[in-house]
Structure 1
Amino acid sequence: MSNLSFPPTRAVGRGAAWYRGDCHVHSVHSDGELTPEELAVRGRAAGLDFMATTEHNSAAQAGVWGLLAADDFLIVLGEEVTTKTGHWLALGIKSGEVIDWNHQVRDGAIDQCLDQVHQSGGLCVAAHPHAPYPSGDFMFPYRGFDVVEVWNGLWTSDRPWNADNEAALAEWGRSLAVDMHMGSWRPAMGNSDTHLEGQIGTPHTVVYAEELNTEAILAGIRAGRSWIAESADVGVSFTAHAGGHVAGVGEQLTTHGGQVEVRATVRGVPVGTVSFHTDGGKVHRAALPGDEGGVVRWDTTAEESMFVRIEVRHPNGSVAALTNPIVLL
């Protein structure tokens, strides 16, 4: 088999940087309408730096994806594991590897499948947990999964947001405080679940990675060093400041009991609001200043807030962007 059968696991990229990627797409090799070549072209046109191929219950087609990667475009191998009681993504699996999908919540086989992905260095993502079709509702416990796909673009129309995403986001948001108290929390991500023309990158996940390679991208997602955007037109910088120290999305900030200033800088959302969320729920909401977004600030302490995350919404309530939390200590 040629070395070009499958894409390389490393691209040149821009070194340590924020990279945009869509980790849930389907081609004609499962039930999508686009060829792999069309997906790669449209992904790059949508401003993506990487994408994952996630055909239903099958490996990426050999000999198809290898030539589509580039120095500035990474293709991650994956699979959508479509079970009778929920779908999940296996990201970063080996070339030709297939994860068994013939399991369900009552047979206890899920742990073995998750272990297989983890042994390959991959990431397990609970996909569209409230999808509106048979088997779309995610019935497995989140234990053992690394990430939750809280924003899925498949079943949306003019904007990539609907009630199913709202339910997934609320469920994930409520779980953060308990998970952090137990010593670990599960990051959120967003993907297009592309099947049709015009879907790729809507939404996508923006990940801070040391390099543009599979291992570094998965490490950034696993650590929650990421936020979700409806398109590449939207930019968000989210930081917390205390005692001369700064932390970003997915990081911890040691505050020594002092005041914390949280800053959200948003571009690409002409009119909208930023809401700040902690273990106490939604605690602050402010309008974005100016026609091109702007900076919104809010003050708190670690005693008041275990963590802070933000949601950026359009006037109609649909989400333009949301972040994983910054943890305050």
Structure 2
Amino acid sequence: MSSSGYPPVRAIGRGAAWYRGDCHVHSIHSDGELTPEELVVRARAAGLDFIATTEHNAAAAPGVWSRPAADDFLIVLGEEVTTRTGHWLALGLGPGEVVGWDHRPGDGGVEACLEQVHRAGGLCVVAHPHAPYPSGDFAFPLAGFDAVEVWNGLWASDRPWNADNEAALTAWGRSLAAGLRAGSWRPAMGNSDAHLEGQIGCPQTVVLAEELSTGAVLAGIRAGRSWIAESERVDVSFTARADGRVAGMGERLATRGGRVRVQAVVRGVPAGTVRLHTDRGEAHRAFLPARGAGAVRWATTATDSAYVRVEVRHPHGHMAALTNPIALD
């Protein structure tokens, strides 16, 4: 157990790499059925390197999450701010820090809470913006939020991808071009919203971080250096090249007006479909072989495409993976 009663903010010996995590989980200390120890065991089994504590309107209690902490696994302190007009995740809070929930659009309360999280160096994430239950539909302005949970896996045991996620993805995709031009775009995240056995890690956000620490992981998410996977079985790499330069997810590629060569390498989606999207919609589609692994290549220009992002879907249409965009200048 950490001497402070809280998990450490940095894992030992974990340098720059792609790390898999789930930033929306619930334990018996809110409305989940698993203990923190059970959640960490199952997170490791799902191939995760980190999780975030997001109990409803409550801070992580001292001692509760330090017991399952380990040198090679990161536990980020957070909260699901559960209001009457939408839910959001406050990630990277200080020990014992609580964010108020009794606010509504137009009263100035959410803006003060967002500022509180940002002062702590934390991240504010719109949670399941089209959830089909009272208070699930997100009604707050997006200004001040850092990312959007476009894939929520609460019903992952029987519906790994549903109409609510599709609606969130569509709305997010429509906002990308204007957001990238203004420098105010919000990266996509995917989390399980685990409450029950068998849910954690479906989906998971895969983040390029300088180290496995709270600060580095949140910085990677904030910058969009991330993608979303249905499970650890799915792997995606995605790059764009022009005139000897290369860019990855969340980055900008200076093209100097030349051709841009895009490549997506996918594993773990048998007979899946790889779809390349730009600000003009779906621009290219390719099919993976039955073994589920393959590379898709495509060419464009910054004139034709303000950005490129990737979706990988199963033959039945459910999502297997999706990436944040590469912007083309």
TM-score higher than 0.5: yes
Match of 1:271 in 2: 271
Aligned to 1:164: 164
How far off its partner does 1:282 sit? Answer: 1.1
Offset from partner CA, 1:105-144 (integer Å, 9 cap, x none): 1322110000000000000000000001000000001110
Provide structure 1 residue ranges, at least 5 long, that are not aligned to the other structure.
Answer: none
Look up the SS of the partner of 1:40 in the other structure.
Answer: helix
Indicate the residue corresponding to 1:17 in structure 2. Answer: 17
Per-residue CA deviations over 1:204-255 (Å, capped at 9, x if unaligned) read: 1000000000000000000000000000000000000111111111111111
**Which residue does the alignment assign to 1:253?**
253
| SS of match in other structure, 2:275 | strand
What do the CA deviations read for 1:257-291 (whole angstroms, capped 9, x no partner)? Answer: 11111000000111110111111111111111451
Q: Which amino acid aligns with 1:211?
A: E
The alignment partner of 1:67 has SS state of coil
How far does residue 158 in structure 1 lie from its aligned partner after superposition?
A: 3.1
Residue of structure 2 in register with 1:191 after alignment: 191
The residue aligned with 1:307 is: 307
Determine the structure 1 residue equivalent to 2:180. Answer: 180
In the alignment, which residue of structure 2 is the partner of 1:60?
Answer: 60
TM-score by length of 1: 0.98
CA contact (8 A) 2:238 2:265 kept: yes
Distance in 2, Cα, partners of 1:12 & 1:240: 33
Alpha-carbon RMSD: 1.2
- Mapped partners of 2:262, 2:290: distance in 1: 19
Is the CA contact 2:156–2:202 (under 8 Å) kept in the aligned structure 1? no
Asked if the contact 1:86–1:137 (Cα under 8 Å) also holds between the matched residues in 2, the reply is yes
Partner of 1:91: 91
Distance in 2 separating the partners of 1:2 and 1:309: 41
Which residue in the other structure is 2:232 paired with? 232
Contact 1:16 1:210 in 2 (8 A): yes
| Kept in 2: contact 1:100–1:113 (CA 8 A) | yes
Contact kept in structure 2, 1:224 and 1:249, CA below 8 Å: yes
Moved more, 239-248 or 1-10: 1-10
Counterpart code for 1:101: W
Task: Tell me the residue number matched to 2:102.
Answer: 102
What is residue 149 of structure 1 aligned with on the other side? 149
The share of aligned pairs that are identical, in percent, is 73
Q: Distance in 2 between matches of 1:2 and 1:298?
A: 49
Which residue number in structure 2 is paired with residue 76 of structure 1? 76
How many residue pairs get matched?
A: 329
Q: Secondary structure in 2 aligned to 1:114? A: helix
Do the aligned residues in 2 keep the contact of 1:13 with 1:73 (CA within 8 Å)?
Answer: no
Q: Secondary structure at the match of 2:67?
A: helix
Q: For residue 309 of structure 1, give the secondary structure of its aligned residue in structure 2.
A: strand
Secondary structure in structure 1 of the residue aligned to 2:23:
strand
2:19 match: secondary structure:
strand
Letter in 2 for 1:18: W
Distance 2:319 2:2 in 1: 43
Aligned position for 2:322:
322
Change (3 A) 1:2 1:235: closer
Which runs of no fewer than 5 residues in structure 2 stay unpaired?
A: none
Cα deviations by residue, 1:56-98 (Å, 9 ceiling, x for unpaired): 0000121111132222210000000000000000000000000
Normalising to structure 2: TM-score of the pair?
A: 0.98
Equivalent position SS for 1:113: helix
- Greater shift, 283-292 or 65-74, is seen at 283-292
* SS of equivalent residue, structure 1 residue 66: coil
Q: Distance in 1 between matches of 2:48 and 2:86?
A: 27
SS across alignment from 1:38? helix
CA distance in 1, matches of 2:12, 2:245: 31
> AA paired with 2:202?
T
Deviations 1:122-169 (A, max 9, x none): 000000000010000000011100000000000344342100000000
Q: Contact (CA 8 Å) 1:289, 1:295: kept in 2 or not?
A: no
Counterpart AA for 1:259: R
SS at match of 1:166: helix
Q: Amino acid of the residue matched to residue 97 of structure 2? A: E
Q: Secondary structure at the match of 2:211?
A: coil
SS of equivalent residue, structure 1 residue 206: strand
Aligned pairs for 1:133-144 (under 5 A) are 133-144=133-144
User: What does 1:31-70 correspond to in 2, within 5 Å?
Assistant: 31-70=31-70
Distance of aligned partners of 1:241 and 1:289 in 2 relative to their CA distance in 1, 3 Å threshold: farther
